[in-house]
Copies of this chain bind each other. A is one copy, B any other.
């Protein structure tokens, strides 16, 4: 059996060291609240609603790597695959809130939900108003009838893009920001596939195992079980299955305009990802779905998991305008 092989220092100190690495990678554009493992951007302007996120480490550049001009404003870093605590969320929000309120935008996981909700209540006592959007883009995590049970995965990057453009550049107020990001969340769908698992820093085993000829369709970003395991077929066949699932779900139909995010979950080669990109383009064209933009790379990773995800977001004029605005973050520049 294959064993995880990692280059680390103290496996119990990963999030602190990741945070310190982010500070260097941001070249002076990021400030750390060291004692509570939270960070915020130095781009924040007065008179904007701030967008604060948070989540477990292990998904870099998600979540903190999307801080910046046209991105999010602050982030609380949890331990690997673990929610941040209310202390962290409250500290970063208080450090950056400008009197216009805060949008909490994060993935729909129970621990995150609980800790952000507690934070919102405590902040309300200090007259900091907030609204909350939980990304629910993972179509494999619950049936459409239970949309609000779905988990958030790579699609959250597109919500960050929309939220950052609306809050910072177009100066939406909190109500209007909540409305547009809710619309984006309703329009975004993701599905992932794993070829191999990932391992927590402290672990000597992978968090799931697949046979040499097996893949898992619908994998979650912590290795949560997907829709099914199946025998490996061709790249084109797997991508077609994924696009079928995505298009059936929203649905995405002929004449729709979408932006596309093709995300490497970690260890898949970029060579394979480019071959995947080709087939995504071909499939969308065959369905007469207009690809307004395709971005390809490592956006929301799962440690060293070998796999990828495909995200589609249906655009209307407002979403397209916001999507097209520039952003300058570690994980995404436009």
Contacts and interface: CB of A to CB of B under 8 A. Distances in A.
A275 B9 contact: yes
A7 B330 contact: no
B14 A271 contact: yes
A296 interface: yes
A234 B21 contact: no
Nearest to A274: B21
B196 A274 contact: no
Interface string A8-30: 11000010011011111101000
Contacts of A83: none
Given A212-B5, A235-B9, A304-B268, A277 B24 contact: yes
Interface residues of A, number: 65
Contacts of A273: 21, 60
B7 A272 contact: yes
Nearest to A326: B333
Contact of A14 (B22, B23, B275): B275
Interface in A21-55: 21-25, 27
Given A270-B266, A306-B267, A7 B277 contact: no
Given A7-B235, A277-B21, A270 B212 contact: no
Nearest to A24: B281
Contacts of A295: 25
Given A9-B235, A198-B269, 14 more contacts: A2-B2, A3-B212, A7-B195, A9-B234, A9-B275, A18-B278, A20-B278, A21-B275, A21-B277, A24-B280, A24-B281, A25-B274, A266-B267, A270-B301
- Report, nearest first, the 3 A-B pairs whose CB atoms are least far apart: A24-B281, A21-B274, A267-B267
6 contacts: A7-B275, A9-B234, A18-B278, A23-B278, A24-B280, A304-B306
